[in-house]
Structure 1
Amino acid sequence: MRRFLGIVTGLVVGFAGAAAAQDKPPFVFTAIPDQDETRLVQRFTKVADYLQGKLGVPVKYLPVKSYPAAVTAFSNNQVQLAWFGGFTGVQARKQVPGSDAIAQGAEDVAFKSYIIANVSTGLKASKEFPKGIAGKTFSFGARASTSGRLMPEHFIREAFSGRMPEEVFSRVGFSGDHSRTIQVVQSGAYEVGVLDYTVWDTEKKAGKIDETKVQVLWETPTFPDYQWTVRGDVDAVHGAGFKAKLVAALLAIDDPAILTQFARSKFIPAKNSDYTPIEEVAKAANLLN
């Protein structure tokens, strides 16, 4: 009988704890849609489950359709946390004073982009900027992408004496995300493009790149990129110490199933000033008010 009562008591306590967690406001996060949507849902569903276990509150992932939509969701308080690129993180923190970059992938300290080309162009890989891309059709990724637009455009301007991409290339497009940039260059819809190097590596491992049709021409100098950014009012909403608990949870991620999908070895601390170089480039390009 005693054992039975103990089991019943345990179940009641367990149900009470679960009910208490459900009574708490949900913690909602989003991410820029930088690659294949199916892959993103798989990745961030795992993150939501992990954080819910660590934080003791319901955690939900809110998918968005564009980079600006991720920034808007953050600024409107639809989400309290976001996985941003370098530029979108700068935009979001500018719109929400008090928000902080709190964690980044170890690889995000020195990130890079790949300029790729359709093999039919005859262009060859080089350690120097491939000036032979001039006059070709060219695809960036999303307009607000750090590795798919902002920093590559900066390097293009440097290589061509300050000329705008529209002055360098015969046609300029924006694919919307890194996965699609590979697709449009591999298909020949665009002759040249630029993307996040981790997406190239991930798609290559997945067998989605035909290197008889598309190849890497050049890798850019490094720059700071992705990071987790949290709103400054998160403790007021979820209780004192919640932000510190969140930071600890993100830095403690060691599940290969999560890290592999991020193409990151681990997460490390980040701070707003880490992204000053991105802010300066964005201002110089008149992309940040």
Structure 2
Amino acid sequence: MLIRNPKQAFAKFSAIATLTLVPFFCVEAATFTFTAIPDADESQLRTRFDKVANYLEQQLGVEVSYVPVKSYSAAVTAFRNNQVQLAWFGGLSGVQARKLVKDSQAIAQGYEDQFFKSYIIAHQSTGLKPSTDFPDISGTTFTFGSKGSTSGRLMPQYFIEQQLHSSPKDIFKRVGFSGDHSRTIAQVQAGVYQVGAVNYKVWEKELAEGKIDTSKVDVIWESPTYPDYQWTIRADVDHKYGEGFTQKVKETLLSMDDADLLSSFPRSSFVAATNDDYQPVEDVAKQIGLID
């Protein structure tokens, strides 16, 4: 049909031109994805880390998405397969991930992660009391957290073997793996296990929230300190998202100062980290046979 109105003709031409140009000029950058080890109650994780994703998106200028995982090993697998490019790992899972993805880097850690610690907790029925000396927990039932947890398995097992001179399977009547620190606390509090190993940060958070009944369960021993959680980023992100992207992510994490965001971890701040900071964790993992 012939268009006689010049304005109508121009409008139609503009619409056609716009539709033609969209595929060439509106290509979206790839979504930058991250995950976090499921170290506490799974139902809380998405609420916590969706807030972090929004912060990263605003600061980095790319779409950012948090990808939940079911286990520590799943977090490492997602990183290896490039399903996520950044991860909030524990000390051990970070070491495992960086060994699988060459040249990946630990770029930031919580201030507290420079001197992290584990608690040994016990049900009141054991009669065990807080002590600076390692307690005699032989013959009890014992639960670790996740099999891949630094604070809930690796370091507690190391300290137990150092102090009691045998492996957990020979020391305890029964050994379990709860899956995360919240479950460890709940299981020992309920008497499902008599003794357990837990991340001190999760214990203190749940204690402050009124979730722990210290007439039923309490801390009986506090470990020496060791390096733990960190942000690890894949080596290929600069190629995918632009030169200098790794440094931009690092600076964004180090400048995070919103108390609500930091409570998601929970940490007071983030400080710079390197792969070398986690050599002690790798050495212990090799010593007790968790990595080659």
Whichever residue aligns with residue 211 of structure 2, its letter is: K
CA distance in 1 between counterparts of 2:245 and 2:284 reads: 33
Whichever residue aligns with residue 182 of structure 1, its letter is: I
Aligned residue for 2:30? 25
Please say if 1:137 is aligned against 2:156: no
Whichever residue aligns with residue 80 of structure 2, its letter is: S
> Once the two structures are superposed, what CA deviation does each residue of 1:143-176 show, in whole Å capped at 9, x if it has no partner?
0100000000000000012x10011110000000
Of residues 108, 118, 123, the one that matches 1:103 is 108
Aligned residue for 1:35? 40
Q: Would you say the 8 A contact 2:49–2:264 is kept in 1?
A: no
> Once the two structures are superposed, what CA deviation does each residue of 1:55-95 show, in whole Å capped at 9, x if it has no partner?
00000000000000000000000000000000000000000
Aligned residue for 2:20? none
Aligned residue for 1:92? 97
Q: CA deviation at 1:22?
A: 7.5
Structure 1: runs of 5+ lacking an equivalent: 1-19
Q: Would you say the 8 A contact 2:40–2:180 is kept in 1?
A: yes
Q: Would you say the 8 A contact 1:32–1:84 is kept in 2?
A: yes
Of residues 169, 175, 180, the one that matches 2:178 is 175
**% identical aligned pairs:** 59
CA RMSD of aligned residues (A): 1.0
Q: Would you say the 8 A contact 2:143–2:196 is kept in 1?
A: yes
SS of residue matched to 2:264: helix
Aligned residue for 1:157? 161
CA distance in 2 between counterparts of 1:177 and 1:43 reads: 16
CA distance in 2 between counterparts of 1:166 and 1:22 reads: 56
* Aligned counterparts, 1:207-246, within 5 A: 207-246=210-249
CA distance in 1 between counterparts of 2:226 and 2:191 reads: 29
Q: CA deviation at 1:27?
A: 0.1
Q: Displaced runs of 4+ in structure 1, greater than 4 A?
A: none
Q: Would you say the 8 A contact 2:147–2:177 is kept in 1?
A: yes
Whichever residue aligns with residue 213 of structure 1, its letter is: K
CA distance in 2 between counterparts of 1:247 and 1:267 reads: 10
CA distance in 1 between counterparts of 2:55 and 2:106 reads: 20
Q: Would you say the 8 A contact 1:22–1:57 is kept in 2?
A: no
CA distance in 2 between counterparts of 1:125 and 1:179 reads: 21
Q: How many residues align?
A: 268
Structure 2: runs of 5+ lacking an equivalent: 1-24
CA distance in 2 between counterparts of 1:126 and 1:259 reads: 31
Q: Would you say the 8 A contact 1:115–1:218 is kept in 2?
A: yes
Q: CA deviation at 1:107?
A: 0.2
Aligned residue for 1:46? 51
Q: CA deviation at 1:258?
A: 1.1
Aligned residue for 2:201? 198
Higher Cα radius of gyration:
2
Aligned residue for 1:116? 121
SS of residue matched to 1:153: helix
Whichever residue aligns with residue 36 of structure 1, its letter is: D
Of residues 279, 285, 292, the one that matches 1:276 is 279
Q: Would you say the 8 A contact 2:40–2:181 is kept in 1?
A: yes
Aligned residue for 1:16? none
SS of residue matched to 1:72: helix
CA distance in 1 between counterparts of 2:31 and 2:95 reads: 25
CA distance in 1 between counterparts of 2:177 and 2:122 reads: 15
TM-score, scaled relative to structure 1: 0.91
CA distance in 2 between counterparts of 1:25 and 1:261 reads: 25
Whichever residue aligns with residue 256 of structure 1, its letter is: A
SS of residue matched to 1:261: coil
SS of residue matched to 2:198: strand
Whichever residue aligns with residue 286 of structure 2, its letter is: K
> Once the two structures are superposed, what CA deviation does each residue of 1:106-165 show, in whole Å capped at 9, x if it has no partner?
00000000000001111110011112x11000000000100000000000000012x100
Q: Would you say the 8 A contact 1:21–1:58 is kept in 2?
A: no
CA distance in 2 between counterparts of 1:22 and 1:145 reads: 40
TM-score, scaled relative to structure 2: 0.90
Whichever residue aligns with residue 73 of structure 1, its letter is: A
- Structure 1, 34-43 or 239-248: larger mean CA deviation: 34-43
Q: CA deviation at 1:39?
A: 2.1
Aligned residue for 2:289? 286
Aligned residue for 1:73? 78
CA distance in 2 between counterparts of 1:280 and 1:177 reads: 23
